[in-house]
Amino acid sequence: MPPANTVTRTIYLSSTDSVQRTLAFFASALANDNQSSSSGDFTIGSLHVKTVEFPLPAAGSGYWSPTAQIGVAAVAGGVAIGVRISSAWHLVRAVDTYIGPSPGTVGVQQGPADAATTFSAQITGKGANRLAAAVDAVGIQATASYSCTSNSPTATKLTFHPQGRVVTVTLLNGCPYGPFLAVGGRNYTLASTGTIATTLRSVLPSLPTG
Nearest CA to 55 among 63, 67, 45? 67
Same domain (yes/no): 120, 171:
yes
Contact yes or no for 159/171 (Cβ under 8 A): no
Structural domain contains residue 158: yes
Structural domain count, the chain = 2
Does residue 1 register a pLDDT over 60? no
Radius of gyration of the chain (CA): 25
91 vs 131: which has the higher pLDDT: 131
pTM for the model stands at 0.58
Of 89, 105, 140, the residue that ends a domain is 89
Taking CA atoms, 180 is separated from 156, 175, 183, in Å, by 10, 12, 10
Same domain (yes/no): 194, 101:
yes
| Helices within 64-158 (DSSP H only) | 125-136
Contact yes or no for 132/107 (Cβ under 8 A): no
Give the pLDDT score at 151: 61
Nearest CA to 200 among 189, 192, 191, 208? 208
